[in-house]
A and B are shown apart, each in its own frame.
Chain A
Amino acid sequence: MALLTTEATILKTYEYSETSKILRLFTRDAGLCSVIAKGARRPKSRFGGLLEPFTDGVATFYVKEGRELHTLSGFELGCERQTLGGQLVRYAGAGLLTEIVLRFAASTADERLFAQLRRGLDRLVDEQGDLERAILEETWRLTKSLGFAPSVDACSVCNEPPPADQVTHFDLANGGVVCNRCRPQVNHPNLLRLAPEERAELAELLSEAVGRHLGRVEGGQTQRRLLREFIAYHLAEQRPLNSFRFLEGRLG
């Protein structure tokens, strides 16, 4: 039995027995982990109110070989994000980011994904501008950190950039835009029509350039649909994420 101390973000908590909690953690050193926090639900628990979703800290737990559930022995608070509960759109966005990590991250260290999740959650707490933009941008970044990025600037078949004013299609299977010349070759049902301004907006949401446009998202419903279907196709084996439905309900 080895003792592991690592930075961790709490993704989700479950009640366990009358007094304990099971936590799903995303850790810097070991990726996704499940730990049991014994006594955490007692009013006078030494864990107090620390063990809540979206909270960062340093977790210490006993790793049992061949076991999936480890025993938490300590949690030192780094940063709590309880205020997310006070604004439903922020809460929905944070739910989406954590659900993606919970469902698609591995139980091995992934420095890039770990850092991106924290940046995303921080932005959802602090964002002063358009929240929908923040959610879309941070979710795309998380998806990219998992190794999936759509191609928007160039056609995913011929690799040529389509004319700026062309109505193109988004091909989920090829993972990107398909120009009109290549469109006849692509005959599967996963094509989504993409107006020039929608393609430009998607490129903008995927861009991480400093000084990019940061105003309100114009085609919110289209952009949410692209993101939702891209994730469902590439990561979720067509099983859509629960958090998207909640987000749709909050943004309308």
Chain B
Amino acid sequence: MSVIDDLAREFTRLPGIGRKTAYRLTHFLLKIPPEEACRLAHAIEAVAERVKHCSICSNLSESDPCEYCTDSGRDRTAICVVEEASDIAAIDASGAFRGLYHVLGGCLSPLDGVGPDELNIESLIARLNGGVSEVIVATNPSVEGEATATYLHKVLVPRGVAVTRLARGLPVGGDLEYADGVTIAQALAGRRGM
């Protein structure tokens, strides 16, 4: 095994990268000036070392608590629940929501062995004591996302908060992370009670 193969093998571990693309990327890095390749390596090292899950909302951040949890300008009565940390940026960029966030870390999936215990649901429930009046469920508009929303509704409503779900303005089967801001803003405006 050469170091070239080593790097290519690491690339194939990334989502959507096959063997051919892995070697293409490796050879690209060998063609550019070494300092540029090292910059990439340092950037990877830096995120691996410094980025952690926020102990309140599980967002990925360099600080703990994260920048959303510590921002005093945000509305502390509403929490928007998302599947992945990458969904937060998409929602926040829409400008239509100024409350807090909570990252579940996935969605309920029987086939993958993901039940409620595998998601950050206990930590969400623990946050409800601090004056939260509404939880907006922004799971993906997929059958798994719907099942996850159903479960959250079941466990949150008895705790006296309003539980709303993003309207189906979003394309069913799509992925929040890549939806455009207008679509997200409309979905937020049309959220419905459960």
Chain A residues with CB under 8 Å of chain B are: 12-13, 15-19, 21, 40-45, 47-54, 81-82, 84-88, 91-92, 95-96, 98-99, 102, 242-243, 245-247, 249
Contact B147 A49 (CB under 8 A): no
Encoded as 1 (CB less than 8 Å from any A CB) or 0, chain B from 93 to 109 comes to 00000000000000011
**B175 an interface residue at 8 Å Cβ cutoff?**
yes
Interface residue tally on B, bucketed by range: 20 to 34
Q: How far is the CA of A184 from the CA of B73 in the complex (A)?
A: 75
Q: Which residues of A contact B111 (CB under 8 A)?
A: 12, 95, 98-99, 102, 242-243
Contact A82/B143 with A12-B111, A45-B171 known, Cβ cut-off 8 Å: yes
Contact B178 A245 (CB under 8 A): no
Contact B150 A88 (CB under 8 A): yes
Q: Which residue of B lies closest to A94 (CB)?
A: B110
Contact A15 B171 (CB under 8 A): no
Q: Which residues of B contact A96 (CB under 8 A)?
A: 110
Q: Which residues of B contact A85 (CB under 8 A)?
A: 142-147, 149-150
Q: How far is the CA of A82 from the CA of B172 in the complex (A)?
A: 10
25 pairs from A and B in contact (CB 8 Å cutoff): A13-B173, A15-B15, A17-B15, A21-B173, A40-B173, A41-B173, A41-B174, A41-B175, A43-B170, A43-B178, A47-B173, A52-B143, A52-B173, A85-B143, A85-B147, A87-B150, A88-B147, A88-B154, A91-B143, A95-B109, A99-B111, A243-B110, A243-B111, A245-B113, A249-B116
Q: Which residues of B contact A88 (CB under 8 A)?
A: 108, 147, 150-151, 154
Contact A52/B142 with A12-B111, A91-B147, A92-B110 known, Cβ cut-off 8 Å: yes
Question: Helix, strand, loop or mixed for chain A's interface?
Answer: mixed
Contact A42/B178 with A49-B141, A246-B113, A249-B116 known, Cβ cut-off 8 Å: yes
Instruction: List residues of B (146-179) whose CB comes within 8 Å of A's CBs.
Output: 146-147, 149-151, 154, 170-175, 178-179
Contact B171 A54 (CB under 8 A): no
Q: Which residue of A lies closest to B170 (CB)?
A: A43
Contact A91 B172 (CB under 8 A): no
Contact A242/B173 with A18-B178, A41-B178, A42-B178 known, Cβ cut-off 8 Å: no
